Amino acid sequence: MLREGSAVAMLEHECRALLTRLDRVDYFALIEPMVAAAAPSNSARIAVDRMLAAERSSLRQRISRFIARLGESWTSHAPPQELHRAYVFLRMRFNALLGDFHTFSDVMTQRSESSVGVWLAGLDVAASDALRLPAAGVLAPPVMCYLDPGPGAAIRRARTRLPAGSENPVAIIRVPRERMVGSGVASSLFHEVGHQAAALLDLLPSIRRVLRARQVLAGGSRSYWLLWDRWISEIVADFWSLAHLGVTATLGMIGVVSLPRVFVFRIHADDPHPFPWLRVVLSCAMGDALFPHPQWTRVERLWRSFYPLAGLSAQQRALIDGMLATMPEFVALLAQHRPAALQGRTLPEALRVADRSPARLRSRFAQWRHAPAMALGERPSLALAVFGQAGADSLLSAEAEARTVRWLLRNWALGRSLRIATPELVSSPCRCQVRQRAS
Nearest to 40 by CA among 102, 101, 109: 109
Q: Can you name the residues that pair with 167 across neighbouring β-strands?
A: 161
Examine the fold and report which residue of 351, 377, 409 is the final residue of a domain before the chain moves on.
351
Residues 391 and 331 in one domain: no
- The answer on 135 and 41 residing in a single domain is yes
Q: Please give the pLDDT value at position 333.
A: 94
Within a domain: 187? no
16 with 107, same domain: the answer is: yes
Do 120 and 175 belong to one domain? yes
Q: What is the pLDDT of residue 196?
A: 96
Which residues in the chain come in under a pLDDT of 70?
Answer: 1-5, 73-77, 183, 420-439
Residue 192 lies in a domain: no
How many Å apart are CA 40 and CA 208, to the nearest integer?
35
| Number of folded domains that form the chain | 3
- Please report the pLDDT score of residue 5 as a whole number: 52
Residue 75 confidence (pLDDT): 61
Q: Are 37 and 417 in contact (CB under 8 A)?
A: yes
Instruction: Write out the residue range of the structural domain in which residue 149 sits.
Output: 1-181
The predicted structure's pLDDT at residue 74: 63
Cα separation, 233 vs 249, in Å, equals 17
Q: Check residue 268 and give its pLDDT.
A: 83
Same domain, 127 and 167: yes
Q: Indicate if 339 and 253 belong to the same structural domain.
A: yes
Q: Model confidence over 38-54: pLDDT tens digits?
A: 888 989 989 999 999 99
pLDDT tens, position by position, 365-418: 999 988 888 999 999 999 999 999 999 999 988 888 889 999 999 999 998 888
Same domain, 142 and 237: no
* Domain match, 37 and 169 both: yes
Q: Is residue 261 a part of any domain in this protein?
A: yes
Q: Are residues 367 and 344 in the same domain?
A: no
Same domain, 164 and 228: no
Domain boundary among 332, 351, 370: 351
Q: Is residue 188 part of a domain?
A: no
Residues 93 and 148 in one domain: yes
Is 195 inside a domain boundary?
A: no
Please give the pLDDT value at position 435: 46
Contact 212, 229 (CB under 8 A): yes
For residue 316, is it within any domain?
A: yes
Q: Tell whether 342 and 380 lie within a shared domain.
A: no
In a domain, 196, yes or no: no
Residue 87 lies in a domain: yes
| 146 phi/psi in degrees, rounded to 5 | -150, 165
Can you give the pLDDT at residue 436? 43
Q: Strands 143-148 and 154-156, how do they pair?
A: unpaired
* Strand-by-strand arrangement of the 171-176 sheet: 143-148, 171-176, 154-156
**Distance from CA of residue 146 to its chain's centroid?**
10
Last residue of a domain, one of 149, 181, 213: 181
Angle at 136 between CA 45 and CA 161, to 5 degrees: 40
> What is the reported pLDDT for 128?
94
